[in-house]
Amino acid sequence: MTFVLRTADPTNARSITARAQIFSDRFARDLPDVPCITAPDAVDPTQVRYLLTWDAPPDLDRYTGLEVLFSIGAGVDQLDLDAVPPHVAVVRMIEPGLVATMQEYATMAVLMLHRELPRYLEQQRAGQWNNHPVRPARGRRVGVLGLGMLGQAVLASLAPFGFELAGWSRSAKQVDGVRCLHGEAALPGFLAETDILICLLPLVESTAKILDADLFAALPRGAGLVHVGRGGHLDQAALLEALDSGHLAGAVLDVTDPEPLPADDPLWHHPRVVLTPHVAGATQAETAADAVIANIRRIQAGERPEGLVDRALGY
C-alpha cells in the first residue's frame, strides 16, 4: 500500500517542497511499511491506498485501489464529493498546529474589535487623536457560529478574558462555560445577544450566504464580525451596506469569494475592514504528518479515523 501527498500550488513551490520532505521523513521514521510518495506520477496509481490532497484530482479514477482521501484543510467544501467514489472514505484535517493558529487569529481578531482597533486605525489615517470609552471584556458578548472542533477551541482561547460566551450549532452541543443554542428557531435570539460574531461554520448548501442582510440586522447595532469560515458564507454587498450604515462597527475577514479579491473590490480599502489572505488556521506540516500517520494506524486497526466526513452532511 502507498500514501501519496498531492500538491498543486505553483505560487508556493518552496513551501510545498519543504512540506513534502517533512512528510517523507515522518513516514520513513514512524510508518515505514507505507511508502510516502510526493510525486504522484512516479507511482502506479493502482497501488495507492491513501491520498492527501487539497482538491480531488481530475484523474481520480486512476486510483482504483484508493481507500481514503485525506483533505489537507480542516474543511472539505473545496472537494467535489460527488467525484469521490462512495467506497472511498473522506477525512478532513484535524491537527493541533491548525487548531492553535486558528485560536491565535480568532483571539487577535476579537480583541481588535473589542478594543475598536478599526476605528482607531481610521482615525490614524485621518490624523485624529480621539479616545473612546473602554468597555470591559465582561461586558462584551462573543458568539461563535459553529461548535465543531475549531469553534470549541476558539471559545476556550477566549474564556480567560472574561467575555460572555455563546455558541450556535445546527444540532445540540454542550461546552463548559458557554451558553449553547441550536437549531434555526434559536438563531435570532443568539444573534440578538451577540456583540462580536465569529463564523466558523462548514460551507454546505444550507450555510451558503448565511452572513446576509437579515443576519446582520439581527445583530445589535455596533456589533462586529470575525469571518474565518469560508468565502461562500458571506454576502459581501450586505456586509458593506451594514458597515456603511453604521449597524456593524467593523469586520475582520480572513476569507472571501473569490480569493484573491479583484483589485477594484471595495473591501480592500474599506476603513472598517481588516483583511487577511486566508491565513487564520494554517496546517503545520510536522503535526499534520503525525495526525495523518495516526489516522492510517487507526484505519489499519479497524478503527474510525478522526475527522471522518459524513457525506450526507458534507462535513
**Would you list the DSSP string of 259-286?**
SSPPTT-GGGG-TTEEE-SS-SS---HH
Query: Between 96-114 and 149-158, two packed helices, what is the crossing angle to 10 degrees?
Result: 50
Alpha-helix runs per DSSP H in 11-148: 13-30, 96-114, 117-126
For residue 179, indicate whether it is catalytic. Answer: no
Instruction: Tell the residue number behind the cell numbers 451596506, with chain if given.
Output: 241
Query: Between 285-300 and 13-30, two packed helices, what is the crossing angle to 10 degrees?
Result: 40
For residue 269, indicate whether it is catalytic. Answer: no
3-state SS, residue 225: strand
**Which residue among 230, 233, 270, 272 is the active-site one?**
230
Separation between Cα atoms, residue 200 and residue 143, nearest integer Å: 10
Cβ 15 vs Cβ 284: under 8 Å: no
**Which residue among 278, 297, 298, 311 is the active-site one?**
278
**CA neighbours closer than 13 Å in the CB half-sphere of residue 302:** 0
Separation between Cα atoms, residue 148 and residue 167, nearest integer Å: 10
Q: Which residues are catalytic?
A: 230, 278
